[in-house]
Structure 1
Amino acid sequence: MLIFPAIATIASSSLSHPSHQILDVQEILHTTKTQLFDHEILESDQSRDGMQWKLNLFHRDKLSEHHRDHRHLVKARLNRDVKRVATLNSRIKQAAGGGVEPFEVEDFGSEVVSGMQQGSGEYFVRIGVGSPPQSQYMVVDSGSDVVWVQCLPCKQCYQQSDPLFDPANSNSFMAVSCESTVCEHAETAVGCRGHGGGRWCGYKVSYGDGSYTKGTLALETLTFGNTFIQKVAIGCGHRNQGLFVGAAGLLGIGGGSMSLVSQLGGASGGAFSYCLVSRGTSSPGSLEFGRESLPTDSAVWVPLLQNLKVPTFYYVGLSGLGVGGVQVSIPEPIFKLSDMGHGGVVMDTGTAVTRLPTVAYTTFRDAFIDQTTNLPRARPVSIFDTCYNLDGFVAVQVPTVSFYFTGGPVLTLPARNYLIPVDDMGTFCFAFAPTSSGLSIIGNIQQEGIQISFDSTNGLVGFGPNVC
């Protein structure tokens, strides 16, 4: 059977869309077996070109624990994912409800090669902290605004891949005083530490799963390759709890004022892009800052929506979903962000599996099942209720799956972004899940292999044109 490469396609809603794709079962199963033995830690290829910084992105499985087989690996991922989604819903519910401390959770961001077991990200980058730079793996998280790292002296720290950051060995470390405007405007500040003239701004970031970091707010130099970024506000964590396996801390790239993107200010022009490579591949993805990272043509741009209750998250307008090149009948208000901050659709790098409100999910899933009656079914697995037994198949033809964004653009996903292997024996599942919450989340499985660009200055998110 001829195998065609499956890539994302983006088009206007007025155009016809492909109805089917080829899923290369044999090739995908091969990667699930080889990735278990591929735990080499790669150094980040960091570079700067003009006002553009580029970092390699690694999936957390490069750093975290080994698993006996692919089934156990998937189980661990889905357990993390359930906690992550619960955390996001808890944050938004608390903020929208106007309760006390509505925005304490994760106000310093992190992402790329994920080190946090309990819902804090799936991807890591490698950067230098301090002067001279001490290399650290940091979780990149588009759903966070705080930059923080575990610090010596450490009263309570989890295990990480690199030696703990020691401020005493950094010539550029400067604790933020209580009188500083940085302390005054930091959402995570929780008062002062110390006495007399040595009173420093304390911080605390709590996560919905019970993990947290707290310590001293500081200004420090971060290094991306040969580029030094001075006076970045970071949390120096002396007490840290949670299963943050591997990573030294968090690199927040959310939409809030304390995120790395916001702190870079004019240097990055409020712009960054990332490309998440497919699970199991040995090559890294990329994270780039600066307006030069934005595509100049061929990308499709969608307006970003702002939730004033929780400015961290990147919301997009979604008008519907498609199966087999046809839009499924789902009322558009299901995906609407309300004036009170409820509902809406968030793009999140830390969530793996896309979540949809139950009514939308059921209609969407049933449409997919109706067009896959030729494929043998398998038992449900964890949060996946629609699975197939593709053992013995080289490749299969499957209906396309598409996101219909408000305003017309349609993103048709590669087949491997919605039918994923959950074991080594040929069981593939439909990689979406229902949620009783009104919040929809576009997860990183659906984002893989697509260049995604954020232009915060102009309030836009772009898809393509490059693939990775």
Structure 2
Amino acid sequence: MAYCHLLVCILLCSSYYSIVLAVNLNKFAVVPATSSDPNRASVPLVHRHGPCAPSAASGKPSLAERLRRDRARANYIVTKAAGRTAATTLSDTAAGDGGGTSIPAFLGDSVDSLEYVVTLGIGTPAVQQTVLIDTGSDLSWVQCKPCDAGECYAQKDPLFDPSSSSSYASIPCNSDACRKLEAGSYGHGCTSVSGGASLCEYGIEYGNRATTTGVYSTETLTLKPGVVVASFGFGCGDHQHGPYDKFDGLLGLGGAPESLVSQTSSQFGGPFSYCLPPTSGGAGFLALGAPNSRSNAAAGFSFTPMRRIPSVPTFYVVTLTGISVGGEPLAIPPSAFSSGMVIDSGTVITGLPATAYAALRSAFRSAMSEYRLLPPSNGVLDTCYDFTGHTNVTVPKVALTFSGGATIDLAVPAGVLVDGCLAFAGAGTDNTIGIIGNVNQRTFEVLYDSGKGIVGFRAGAC
């Protein structure tokens, strides 16, 4: 049965790529997934609704609904960073090639636009949980028993039962860990349980007003067989409300102390990376730890300085310096990019400052003038095309250039178009911070190294 499931995945992936190559033979290249690096801890990453997802959900939301959620998320990020965009460039301190791990990662397309999932083990014995990955938030959580009727959304897998785990521990209210949580963004006071104990409670409200609350706890996290994170701080959620899909929880990869990245920095060194697959049948990875400097995985990166917002440690910020369409640089003043761009795995559509987006839209429409431009219909994307009757479609390459000279050619069409629409939108005035969404990141290994103060891009990684 497992063999047949794998065969179906391979056939579906192969069929997709054949279609893409027929549409855009000279613009898009199929590349193998990254090879295993013994120096890192890695797990697979796949499409949430794809045939290879371990916990596929039915009833995929419409494009309009997904874009509505995406816009809500983007607005939340911009609002949170507004007035606090005077980011500081980190010093170029060395980070060692410590041991790491890599986890398969998969693309999904629903629920607050947090598109990609990995499957991990939680508890002792380990119970598999499929969770969304998110660089735009920090505290990880899963839904836990007991959940009163209507207090938890329906998920594909059974709820995690902390009473069945020998390594689970709730965090007392009057503890240093709870006080630190309360001092950050995720504290929610205390909750009383049977027996009179007062436990630490967490609370999160996302950009689309979805909420989760529960008991702040520690547990053993199994990234893959033999790779374990002990006493991992997470939220054991017993009250969830909002537009959630059937995933089991969320894995926070932001820069604050509560994130998986921060909690495992002594174990894996701090750097982490992922490769987001371009299709629902494709597989990518989430890796903790830096590539070994002597490995093939360390070659081929282009780096740009990472900036941080001191008052909002969650976000990773980079600086765009230019955009080109069809090999032609656009006339965009540097001031248009001065506020920086949050690079985010959970936002779908890239939001550009007004001047930059106007220049990109004009050049892209000009290059696509032979195709019928559709009227805006979803409230977010305004450059969509009807390709009916066209056997071959020529899409111009779009390249992004960052401070330090790093230039990435976005995958065509997977990194440029979403359902026939340009995967960019205007994000307000030129003094508004922008967001680089996950569509533009597809097929690249994106490496975050806060110790060195850099973000790296390696093309063709998945």
User: TM-score when scaled to structure 2?
Assistant: 0.80
Tell me the secondary structure at the aligned position of residue 391 of structure 2. coil
**Where does residue 95 of structure 2 map in the other structure?**
none
1:74 equivalenced with 2:66 (yes/no) = no
Matching residue's letter, 1:90: T
Could you tell me the percent identity over the aligned residues?
Answer: 35
| Number of residue pairs matched by the alignment | 401
Return the alpha-carbon distance in structure 1 between the equivalents of residues 249 and 70 of structure 2.
Answer: 19
**How far off is 1:59 after superposition?**
2.2
**How far off is 1:419 after superposition?**
4.5
Return the alpha-carbon distance in structure 2 between the equivalents of residues 75 and 293 of structure 1.
Answer: 42
**How far off is 1:149 after superposition?**
1.0
The answer to whether the 8 Å contact 2:69/2:208 transfers is no
1:85 equivalenced with 2:78 (yes/no) = no
- Relative to structure 1, is the Cα distance of residues 177 and 357 closer, same or farther in structure 2, using a 3 angstrom cutoff? same
**How far off is 1:465 after superposition?**
4.5
**Where does residue 331 of structure 2 map in the other structure?**
329
Return the alpha-carbon distance in structure 1 between the equivalents of residues 365 and 21 of structure 2.
Answer: 19
Matching residue's letter, 1:190: H
**Where does residue 347 of structure 2 map in the other structure?**
351
Return the alpha-carbon distance in structure 2 between the equivalents of residues 421 and 92 of structure 1.
Answer: 27
Q: CA deviation digits over 1:53-102, x for unaligned, max 9?
A: 211112232333335xxxx74334323322221222233348779xxxxx
Return the alpha-carbon distance in structure 2 between the equivalents of residues 329 and 257 of structure 1.
Answer: 40
**Where does residue 298 of structure 1 map in the other structure?**
300
**Where does residue 441 of structure 1 map in the other structure?**
435
The answer to whether the 8 Å contact 1:256/1:262 transfers is yes
Residue 450 of structure 2, aligned match among 432, 436, 456: 456
The answer to whether the 8 Å contact 1:304/1:314 transfers is yes
Structure 1 unaligned blocks of 5 or more: 1-21, 29-44, 98-110, 338-343, 423-427
Residue 422 of structure 2, aligned match among 430, 433, 436: 430
**Where does residue 192 of structure 2 map in the other structure?**
194
- Relative to structure 1, is the Cα distance of residues 453 and 263 closer, same or farther in structure 2, using a 3 angstrom cutoff? same
The answer to whether the 8 Å contact 1:112/1:121 transfers is no
Task: Give the aligned CA root-mean-square deviation in angstroms.
Answer: 2.9
Q: CA deviation digits over 1:294-343, x for unaligned, max 9?
A: 84222111111011121111110111211122221112122223xxxxxx
- Relative to structure 1, is the Cα distance of residues 83 and 146 closer, same or farther in structure 2, using a 3 angstrom cutoff? same
1:64 equivalenced with 2:57 (yes/no) = yes
Matching residue's letter, 1:248: D
The answer to whether the 8 Å contact 1:356/1:441 transfers is yes
The answer to whether the 8 Å contact 2:444/2:461 transfers is yes
Return the alpha-carbon distance in structure 1 between the equivalents of residues 371 and 401 of structure 2.
Answer: 26
**How far off is 1:197 after superposition?**
7.1
Residue 358 of structure 2, aligned match among 345, 349, 362: 362
Return the alpha-carbon distance in structure 2 between the equivalents of residues 243 and 218 of structure 1.
Answer: 25
Return the alpha-carbon distance in structure 2 between the equivalents of residues 419 and 225 of structure 1.
Answer: 33
**Where does residue 381 of structure 2 map in the other structure?**
384
- Relative to structure 1, is the Cα distance of residues 116 and 257 closer, same or farther in structure 2, using a 3 angstrom cutoff? farther
- Relative to structure 1, is the Cα distance of residues 347 and 238 closer, same or farther in structure 2, using a 3 angstrom cutoff? same
Instruction: Within 5 Å, give how 1:21-420 maps onto structure 2.
Output: 24=21, 26=23, 50=38, 52-62=40-50, 63-66=56-59, 73-93=62-82, 117-119=110-112, 121-155=114-148, 156-186=151-181, 187=184, 188-194=186-192, 198-226=197-225, 227-280=227-280, 282-292=281-291, 295-337=297-339, 344-382=340-378, 383-420=380-417
Q: CA deviation digits over 1:120-175, x for unaligned, max 9?
A: 51111111111111111111001010111111111310111111011100100011
The answer to whether the 8 Å contact 1:271/1:457 transfers is yes
- Relative to structure 1, is the Cα distance of residues 293 and 128 closer, same or farther in structure 2, using a 3 angstrom cutoff? farther
Matching residue's letter, 1:417: A
The answer to whether the 8 Å contact 2:401/2:408 transfers is yes
The answer to whether the 8 Å contact 2:416/2:440 transfers is no
Q: CA deviation digits over 1:270-316, x for unaligned, max 9?
A: 11111111133x13211111123784222111111011121111110
**How far off is 1:117 after superposition?**
4.7
The answer to whether the 8 Å contact 2:66/2:112 transfers is no
Tell me the secondary structure at the aligned position of residue 291 of structure 2. helix
**How far off is 1:397 after superposition?**
3.1
